[in-house]
Structure 1
């Protein structure tokens, strides 16, 4: 049983057993003696203690864990013994520094180098990290800032906030990728003292005195503090937005993923419809999981970036986690692309089959009634996608019902009624599309003199949604009189040429007869309106139930208008919009009014029958 001692290294409390404590105390005392007469010894010792505390912290899994002799030996091995560096430096003053080939250099860490700064030390820190002269980084910043219209200034400010400053000797060595041991700490501290000494020797004290009197800070320091203050405010605001956006998106995606997985297990109708439109045979849970990773991982990094902005000393998630997430994201995106390609390939070909039927109408000498019949399935609670619907038939089996129907009414070439149904579908090949089209069911019924056509088609659920559709053509013999009932069918899906140019939505309002020219002839429409127009639409003659309207215009601007209706007769003649003759005769012929004008002369005459 060993006694435990509490020690304080670099203001950090550690628990250490007595044997390890004695060994560490002897080591620090020997280090202290070796730097007894060295300039800056206090700073060197402070940095060494800070590094030892850092190494202990890395090795301990729990703050309550006790440091043993094993951990002390490992730390001493890393830091090195003091006698390894107690040599006369002048002997090796002209010798190049020795570098061990077997010793691997430490990985550099990114810090801001405020010792070589112009503004915040971002450029010099980046230069240390990539191993180039800071001058090139600063020139690159200038070029990018000019080229972006000043946009890279915001990036500089963001890096100013995110990149920590190298303040301790350990951080400065980390910035250069050098080992943090006694030798390098001593050298770095001595370099700092030598640099200070050189600056002191070259100082013009009178000039410095004047500067101190005028201002305690340089222009860039003051400007930097002001800019830094605003960037910190903006940075914190951006960090909050990133955290909220990232967290809300990830939580929403996670809830959606869990919902889809549970719904798939419970066979909820909304998820079942996925199998109808899916042509890749990829499970819905897998597609949902891939979608979750493809969207959530980028937002996780946005969340992490926001936390880095808000929390200065946030611990890194590590390169292993970063590259693992990146690899998972790439795999998810690639799998989703493959899924999309397979979906598109399933609709890359189109084919059709045509079914032809002869219709046995009871008596074509009397009017034939044509009607569109809607599906008897209950639309409520069903899943829709465009014209396609997943529902149940009369037997309770799941079927796909589509309203993608078009109807054309044409003249038959003989005295028999014909029905032609062209069924069309998509597929991964022409044969696959044709087989899918063959499995489309379209129905009709003949009931005496009634032709009942379905305004829908059906197909089995296993055939999936392949853009199934039907084009129905009804051929009617010449001279047959018919009535048409559109029902709930969309009238714009009907095509029937007629002699009155009546819109297809209104043909059900009248009785028709199939003409020899293939046009339907209206049997009870009002008198036909005659509308004759030449190519330039100058001359129009209209005859309808309201009367006769004649309008004649020539290229010279002269016009003649005559209108005959229940009010009488009106005749006007004009020349370039100037009225020349105006004659009005009432319906009884008892009153005639004549107005005439020729140049500046005009005449008005009224004739009334006694």
Structure 2
């Protein structure tokens, strides 16, 4: 087992194998010896170390990975050996010199060249990247600004997004030159020679004649002054724009942190609340358990929902921190992919649970119980709803209302108000009540078993039929959309009087053989053949509903259909149509149209 060493290379920490460390140390010492008498030695060494650190970072997959001799050899092959080239000032003379050739092909990267800029260096950087003179890029900007009008926005975006080439490595990459020891040394020495040439040029100008010197200095000073003023103005403008963009970014980061933190705290509180459900009663949780027909543990659903919702909001919170804190340490690739995998598993599990829950309502089955009641033609039958103090609907039921409560025997039961009353005429001499029970399940057998276990009661006393306003069933059956339809088959010429308590349990209209609607409550209704008539209705609440072949009369008006004609009479007027004539009589007058 080899020992590992922690090193700090150009401000970046690495774990390196001891043998690899010794080889890297010898390599750097050889480079330093090569530049002992070179001008700008410290700058060259610093840029070389920065480049080596960058190459190591490209090869490290995570923070814990150890750099071995293989990675050191790869970096040395790219940077080159000191003996591969001359390392003194002679390499910058005019005569040809041997140079080191990088093994890897150089690739250009886009940077802003502020050394050759008038505003921000965008044009110079694009010129280096595409291999053309910057003057053509600047002409293109002028055409975009004064032509399409989008040039300013595009320029500002590039100014913000494209980084400036600051280090020697970035300047070499901007021009597509290999980033090795030779080029780093040459680039830095070029900078020193440029400064030397500038100083020499100034000294020479001083020794020239006064008139020529003044003329040259004035021209050069004026040009440099214009360029310097231009750069200063646009640099200041850029700093102002970047300042406001940074403020906006920080504000967005704070918003993301607040949203992410608030959501995570709420999810954690909800998750721990379910953990102490046996100690602290949470109102409404028993109803959730009743609706959980798939019998999936609630704590498991809550945990999966916590991961499915919490992980995206955690990354939202982390993104906000990254925006606010520039040097925030990364959570690492392993943690990121682990959280992503956990999130995907949670989503898949919730989908499976949802499918399982939906499957519990895939089949609906009915169980019908019929009972004759001693009501005959010419009798008067009163119908009322009764309620239970445990489950008091107030006679204003909702088909989605249900609760878990103790019944009269002290046991728990599900109470629900899914009750509907239908009235149909019959030619039988005696009335019949049919209790149609229904429930959902994942199969027909389970559904019909749940339907049979629905408890519903009624009672006839002194020609008054008392109907329960609720149904009950054992909690083991869960809430599986249990329903009870009460179908009353009443002999013709029997009079029925529905109490006001039945109004919400009756259908609002007559249809499919149902001859009594909710509008008929508190009125004596005579049962006719597939219809009914009101015996004590006033003109205001009189209701007529006739639906015979070719004729339909109801609250909407009168409609008469024949083979080749159609007549409709309603509150808007009269419309009559045949194949040849159309007549419309309304408040606007009489309108007659013919095909001819």
Please name the residue that 2:458 is paired with. Answer: 444
Tell me the secondary structure at the aligned position of residue 490 of structure 1: helix
Q: Contact 1:409/1:496 (CA < 8 Å) preserved in 2?
A: no
The residue aligned with 2:317 is 303
Counting only pairs closer than 5 Å after superposition, residues 114-513 of structure 1 correspond to structure 2 as 114-115=112-113, 160=160, 167-168=166-167, 184=180, 187-194=183-190, 209-214=221-226, 215-218=228-231, 221-263=235-277, 268=282, 270-360=284-374, 367-378=380-391, 386-487=400-501, 490=504, 492-493=506-507, 504-505=518-519, 507-508=521-522, 510-513=523-526
Out of 104, 111, 119, the position equivalent to 1:113 is: 111
Match of 1:514 in 2: 527
Query: Retained in 2: the 8 A contact 1:482–1:513?
Result: yes
Q: Residue 61 of structure 2 aligns with which residue?
A: none
Q: Is the 8 A contact 2:47 2:184 kept in 1?
A: no
Q: Is the partner of 2:492 in helix, strand or coil?
A: coil
Counterpart in 1 of 2:45? 45
Contact 2:431-2:491 within 8 A present in 1 as well? yes
In structure 1, runs of 5+ residues without a counterpart are: 1-6, 13-22, 56-70, 143-148, 541-553, 559-574, 577-610
Tell me which of 85, 90, 95 is aligned to 1:88.
85
CA distance in 1 between partners of 2:305 and 2:123 (Å): 39
On the 8 A contact 1:120/1:160 being kept in 2, the answer is no
Mapped to 1, the partners of 2:461 and 2:98 lie a distance apart of: 116
Correspondence for 1:571: none
Give me the whole-angstrom Cα distance separating, in 2, the residues matched to 1:155 and 1:306.
Answer: 27
> What displacement does 1:270 show?
2.4
Relative to structure 1, the CA distance from residue 385 to residue 170 in structure 2 (aligned partners, 3 Å threshold; closer, same or farther) is farther
Q: Is the 8 A contact 1:423 1:470 kept in 2?
A: yes
Q: Distance in 2 between matches of 1:321 and 1:207?
A: 62
Q: What SS does structure 1 have at the residue aligned with 2:501?
A: coil
For 1:402 and 1:518, locate their aligned partners in 2 and report how far apart those are by CA, in whole Å.
Answer: 31
CA distance in 2 between counterparts of 1:556 and 1:84 reads: 105
Q: How many pairs does the alignment contain?
A: 489
Cα displacement string for residues 223-248 of structure 1 (whole angstroms, at most 9, x for unaligned residues): 53343222122212212211211211
Mapped to 1, the partners of 2:294 and 2:334 lie a distance apart of 33
Task: Provide structure 2 residue ranges, at least 5 long, that are not aligned to the other structure.
Answer: 1-6, 13-22, 56-66, 142-148, 202-215, 545-552, 559-567, 574-582, 591-596
Aligned pair in 2 of structure 1 residues 456, 75: CA closer, same or farther (>3 Å)? closer
Match of 2:564 in 1: none
Per-residue CA shift, 1:115-153, capped at 9, x if unaligned? 489887999999x9xxx9799xx9xxx9xxxxxx98996
Residue correspondence of structure 1 range 17-32 to structure 2 within 5 A: 32=32
Q: Which residue in the other structure is 1:601 paired with?
A: none
Q: After superposition, give the CA deviation of every residue in 1:583-607 in whole Å (9 maximum; x if it has no partner).
A: xxxxxxxxxxxxxxxxxxxxxxxxx
TM-score, normalised by the number of residues in structure 1: 0.62
Do 1:264 and 1:285's aligned partners in 2 also have CA atoms closer than 8 Å? no
SS at match of 1:411: strand
Is 2:422–2:506's contact at 8 Å kept on the other side of the alignment?
Answer: no
1:348-393 alpha-carbon deviations (Å, 9 max, x no partner): 33332322111245x987643221112331469xxx9923333322
When residues 74 and 406 of structure 1 are mapped into structure 2, their CA distance, relative to the original with a 3 A threshold, is: closer
Instruction: Give the alignment's Cα RMSD to 1 decimal.
Output: 5.9
Deviation at 1:255, TM superposition (A): 1.6
Change (3 A) 1:306 1:467: same
Q: How many angstroms does 1:289 deviate by?
A: 1.5
Change (3 A) 1:292 1:37: same
Asked if the contact 1:406/1:494 (under 8 Å) is kept, the reply is no
- Structure 1 residues 481 and 390: alpha-carbon distance in aligned structure 2, compared to 1, 3 A threshold: same
Shift of 1:211: 3.5
Q: How does 1:66-77 map to 2 (within 5 A)?
A: none
**TM-score scaled by length of structure 2:** 0.63
Residue 407 of structure 1, CA deviation: 0.5
SS of equivalent residue, structure 2 residue 326: coil
Partner Cα distance (1:39, 1:555) in 2: 105
Q: Is the Cα contact below 8 Å between 2:418 and 2:483 reproduced in 1?
A: yes
Residue 299 to residue 121, structure 1, CA distance change in 2 (3 Å)? farther
